[in-house]
Chains A and B, each alone.
Chain A
Amino acid sequence: MRLRRLMVPLLAFALIAGACGDDDDGDEGTQSEDTGGGGGDDSGRVVLLTAMEPEEVSAVQSIFDDMINADADYEAEVEAAGNFEEQLQIRAEGGTLDLAAVPQPGAVRQLAADGSIVALEDLGFDIAELEEMFGEYFLSLGEYEGKHYGVPTNINLKSMVWYPKDDFDAAGYEVPDTWDDLIALSDKIVADGSNPWCIGFESEGATGWPATDWMEDLVLRTAGVDTYDQWVNHEIPFDDPAIKEAAERFGEILFTDEYVLGGAAATADLAFGDAPGPLFQDPPGCYLHRQASFINSFFGNFDEDAEAGTDYDWFPLPPIDQEGTLFAGEFTVVGSNRPEVKDFLDQFIGQEVQCAMGGTEASSRISPNIEVGPDCYANDILADASVVLTDALENDTGRFDASDMMPPEVGSGTFWTGMIDYVRGGPDSLDGVLAAIEASWPAG
C-alpha cells in the first residue's frame, strides 16, 4: 500500500521527466542528425528547398530521378514550400537544411553572416571554374567576406519589350535596334493614330516595382554597369546626375503626349497584370509593353489562343549609350557539408541536368550556366532569352535587379513609392523625388 502510494507520483514524474528530457534532446537530436543526414535523411536523402510551383516541382523531380538518382546511392528530392522564407529560416537555424534555392542575393549573404550555410570553397568547388560557368558578376553576388556561398541556378530576363507580332508586322513596323529607333517607332505609331506603350505599375502593397525595373534598365543603358554598381552600393547618391539622366529618359516615354495608353498618371492605378491587355485587342490599343519574362503567363487572360512567335513576340530593350541586360535569378545555397550534397550540387548545376530542365514545358527556368545552349529549351521565348542572358553574363553587361540589392527601406520602400510620385507628379517632380529617395537611404 505504502509502496503504491509512493510509486504513483514517482511514476508520473518519470513520465514528465521523460517528456521534458526528450524535448531537450529534440534540438540536439536534429543537430546530431545533421552529421548523419538532416531531417531523416539517414536513408541518404538530399532535399532541395524551393519556392517552385507544383507542376514545376514534378517536372524537375522527374529529371532528378532520371539523371541523378538513377546512378547515385542517395536520393535527391525537390521540395516546394509555400512559406519558403519561413521554412528556409527554420531549417537554416535548426541545422536541417540540405540545399535551398534562394531568389535574393541579400538573403544569401545574410545566411552566410549567420553562419548557417557552407561556403562553396569549403565544399571543394573551384571558384575559377564556376566563374567560367556563370560569369564573374553573377557568382560574386553570393560573396560574403571573401568566400562564395551561392551558385546561380536560375536566371530570368527583365529587359524584354513585348509586341503583338501579327499586327506589328501588318502595320509595317520594324523591331528597333537602337533607342533612337525605338523613339522613332513610338512617334510613328502615334502618327498612325494609336498609342505605342502600355504601362501599369499597380501591385497592391508593392505598387511601383515595375517602374523600378524600368529605371534600372535605363540606368544600365545610359550610365553603364560600373555606375550601376556604384548606384546599388550607394557609392554615388540616388540623385546623382547619371541617375537623373536615366529618369529623364524614362520620363521621355512616360510623359510624351500620346505615348502611353491612358496617360502617365493612370499607370499608377493600373494593375501590372492588366497592362498588356490592349496588345491583344483588335486593332491593338498599344504596340509595346516592357516587362520581365513571367508576363508571358498572363497573356492567356487576354487571348486564350495567343501564340508566341505569331500573335506576340519580344525584343530586347535597345541600348542607349551602353549595352545592358537586366536580370533576376536564384542562388542555390548549401546548409550541410556532406559528400552526397556536394555530388548532387555538382550534377545539378552541370550542363546536362540544366539542359534537361530547359526541355520541359512545365518549367520556365533559364539556366545561368553559359555552357547551356539555346537548343536546350522547349520554348522559343526562353531560348531567345537565354541567348541574350548568356551573352550578357559572358561579356559582363548583365546586372541583377537593383531594388532587390538595395537596403529594403529603399529597394522595397522609397524607390517604389518615389517612382509612383514621379509618374503622378510629372517631369517637374523629378528632383524632389530623387532627393527624397536619397534622404531615405539608411545610414551606415
Chain B
Amino acid sequence: MTNGSEQQTTATVPANAEAGRALKLLGAVVVLVGLPLLVQWAFDFTKDRDANRFAIVGVAIVLGVLGVFALFWVMDQIVDRLPRGWRETARPYVFVGPALVVLSVFLIYPVVNTLLLSFKDRRGDSWVGLDNFEFVFTDPSMLRSLRNTSLWIVVVPALALVIGLVFATLADRLQRGESVAKSVIFLPMAISFVGAAVTFRLIYNYRPEGFGSNVGVMNAVWQGLGNDPVPWLTRQPWNNFLLMVIMVWMQTGFAMVVLSSAIKSIPEEIIEAARIDGATEWQVFRHITIPSILPTITVVTTYMVINAMKVFDIVFVMGSPENNGTEVVAERMLTWFFVRNNQGYGAAVAVVLFLAVIPVMIANVRRFRAEEAIR
C-alpha cells in the first residue's frame, strides 16, 4: 500500500507541481503512518504460531536486514545534522555503537554474570566467597578433569598436527588423486562431535559374555586375535586416549587442508634452489617447509588447543565420566550447571576454563602482531 502511493507520488511530480506537492505530503503521511504499521504487522507475523515457518524466516530476515540498514542510515543522517566540528568525532562512535551494545549484551554481560555467580551458592542467592573455587581445586573428580583436559590440549593438537602435516606433505607429491585423498581425510570434519561420538560408541561397543556377539569393531578385531572382549571405555587410563582418538580423527583433516595450502604457497624457487645445492628431502622439509609454514602451524595449534579445551560432547556420550575417570573441564561445567543445578560450581568451573583460554589467546595475538611487524 505504502509503496504504491510513493511510486504514484514520484510519477505525478513533473506533470503538475501543485498537485505533486499535495500528493507528496499525502504520501509522506501515509508512509509515516503506514510504515510503523507494516513493521508492527511484520513483528506480529513472526510471532504467529500458525504461520508458515519459511514465511516467518523470510519476514524476519527482511525485517532484520532492513532494520539494521535503516538504523545506520538514520544515525548517519542525525550525525550530518550535528555542528560541523562534532560530526567527524561522533561518526565512528555512532557506527561502532550498535556493535558494542550487541557485544556487551551477548559477551560481556554473560562473562560478568558468570563471574558473579561463581562467588554465589548453588541457586545464586547468597555470597559464599571462594568456596566454589575451593571445590574446583579439591574435588577428586574436578582434579581428574583438570588432568584430563591438560592431556587433551597436548595430545590432540600434537597428533592431529603431525598426522595432518605428514599427510599434507606427502599428498603434495602425489602425481594424481591428491584431491581425492585429501577429501577422504577431510570428510570427518563434516560430522558433528556428538555424531562422531555415537559412531565411535559402536566401534568401542562391548557386550559381556552371554549377551550376544560383540558388534564393536575393536572387540571384533581383539577377539579375532584370540582374546576375550574388553570394555574399552572403562579401562583406565586408556579410555581417555580412545576418546582423544575421536577428536584427532575429526581435526586432522582441518590441519591437513590448512597446512597443505601453506605448503603450496612456498615459492618453488626456494625449494628448487635448495635441491640444486644438494639438500636432502628431509633437509628441505626441516629447514624450508617447516619455517615457512610456522605461522600457519601456530594458528592451527591455537585453534585445536581451544577446541580441545571446549570438548565435552565426546566425553558426555561415552558412559559415566565420573566412574570411568574421563571427566574434562567443560563436561564438569555442564554437569554441574545443568544436570545437578549447582550454578555456583558450574560458574566457578566456567571461570577457570575462561582464565585458561586467555594465555592461549594472548600468545596468539602476540604472534600475529609480530608477524604483522615483519611484513
Contacts and interface: CB of A to CB of B under 8 A. Distances in A.
Contacts of B77: 8-9, 12
Complex A-B, nearest 5 residue pairs according to Cβ-Cβ distance, in ascending order: A18-B36, A262-B208, A207-B320, A266-B208, A269-B231
Nearest to B215: A274
A272 to B, nearest CB: 12
11 contacts: A22-B39, A22-B40, A204-B318, A205-B335, A261-B208, A262-B208, A281-B212, A285-B211, A408-B340, A412-B340, A421-B323
A39 B67 contact: no
A442 B122 contact: yes
Given A207-B320, A262-B208, A277-B211, A16 B340 contact: no
Interface in B327-347: 335, 339-342
Contacts of A409: 340, 342
Contacts of B35: 11, 14-15, 18
Contact of A274 (B44, B63, B207, B342): B207
Summarize B's interface: helix, strand, loop or mixed. Answer: helix
Contacts of A7: 28
Interface of B: 24, 28, 31-32, 35-37, 39-40, 43-44, 47-50, 63, 67, 70-71, 73-74, 77-78, 81, 122, 206-212, 231, 233-234, 316-323, 335, 339-342
A314 interface: no
A9 B340 contact: no
A268 B323 contact: yes
A14 to B, nearest CB: 6
B31 A204 contact: no
B323 A12 contact: no
A207 B74 contact: no
Given A19-B36, A268-B234, 14 more contacts: A9-B77, A11-B35, A15-B36, A15-B39, A16-B70, A17-B36, A40-B48, A40-B49, A263-B208, A268-B323, A269-B233, A269-B319, A270-B211, A281-B212
Given A9-B74, A16-B70, A274 B211 contact: yes
A204 B317 contact: yes
A107 to B, nearest CB: 11
Contacts of B81: 9
Contacts of A8: 77
A207 B323 CA distance: 9
Interface of A: 4, 7-19, 21-23, 26, 39-40, 195, 198, 200, 202, 204-208, 261-263, 266, 268-270, 274-275, 277-278, 281, 285-286, 408-409, 412-413, 416-417, 420-421, 424, 442
A416 to B, nearest CB: 7
A16 B210 contact: no
B208 A12 contact: no
A205 B49 CA distance: 35
Nearest to B28: A7
Contacts of B342: 408-409, 442
A363 B263 CA distance: 61
A141 to B, nearest CB: 19
Contacts of B44: 22
A261 B212 CA distance: 12
A274 to B, nearest CB: 6
A261 B39 contact: no
Contacts of A269: 206, 208, 231, 233-234, 319
A268 B324 CA distance: 10
Contacts of A198: 211
A15 B317 contact: no
A262 B211 contact: yes
A416 B212 CA distance: 26
B21 to A, nearest CB: 9
A262 B233 contact: no
B339 A9 contact: no
Contacts of B40: 18, 22
B320 A420 contact: yes
A430 to B, nearest CB: 16
B36 A408 contact: no
Contacts of B122: 442
* Max chain A C-beta neighbours (<10 A), residue from B63, B73, B77: B77
Nearest to A424: B323
A205 B43 contact: no
Contacts of B231: 266, 269
A40 B50 contact: yes
B7 to A, nearest CB: 16
Nearest to B209: A262
A89 to B, nearest CB: 12
Given A266-B231, A269-B233, A11 B39 contact: no
Contacts of B71: 16
A204 B312 CA distance: 13
A393 to B, nearest CB: 29
Contact of A270 (B50, B207, B321, B322): B207
B320 A12 contact: no
A275 B323 contact: no
Contacts of A12: 70, 73-74, 77
Given A39-B49, A205-B316, A208-B320, A413 B208 contact: no
Contacts of A11: 28, 31-32, 35
Contacts of A277: 211-212
B209 to A, nearest CB: 6
Given A207-B323, A269-B234, A262 B74 contact: no
A278 B340 contact: no
Contacts of B32: 10-11, 14
A15 B43 CA distance: 12
Nearest to B317: A204
Contacts of A262: 208-211
Nearest to A106: B341
A285 B322 CA distance: 31
A359 B318 CA distance: 39
A269 B324 CA distance: 10
A413 B211 contact: no
Nearest to A285: B210
B31 A22 contact: no
A420 B208 contact: no
B43 A22 contact: yes
B323 A420 contact: yes
Nearest to B230: A269
A269 B71 CA distance: 58
Nearest to A194: B210
B317 A205 contact: yes
Contacts of A268: 234, 323
Nearest to B33: A14
B94 to A, nearest CB: 13
B49 A19 contact: no
A205 B341 CA distance: 16
A12 B70 CA distance: 7
A16 to B, nearest CB: 6
A75 to B, nearest CB: 13
A13 B74 contact: yes
A7 B318 CA distance: 63
B43 A23 contact: yes
A102 to B, nearest CB: 16
A417 B208 contact: no
A12 B32 CA distance: 8
A416 B320 contact: yes
Nearest to B334: A205
Contacts of B207: 270, 274
A205 B320 contact: yes
Contacts of B63: 19
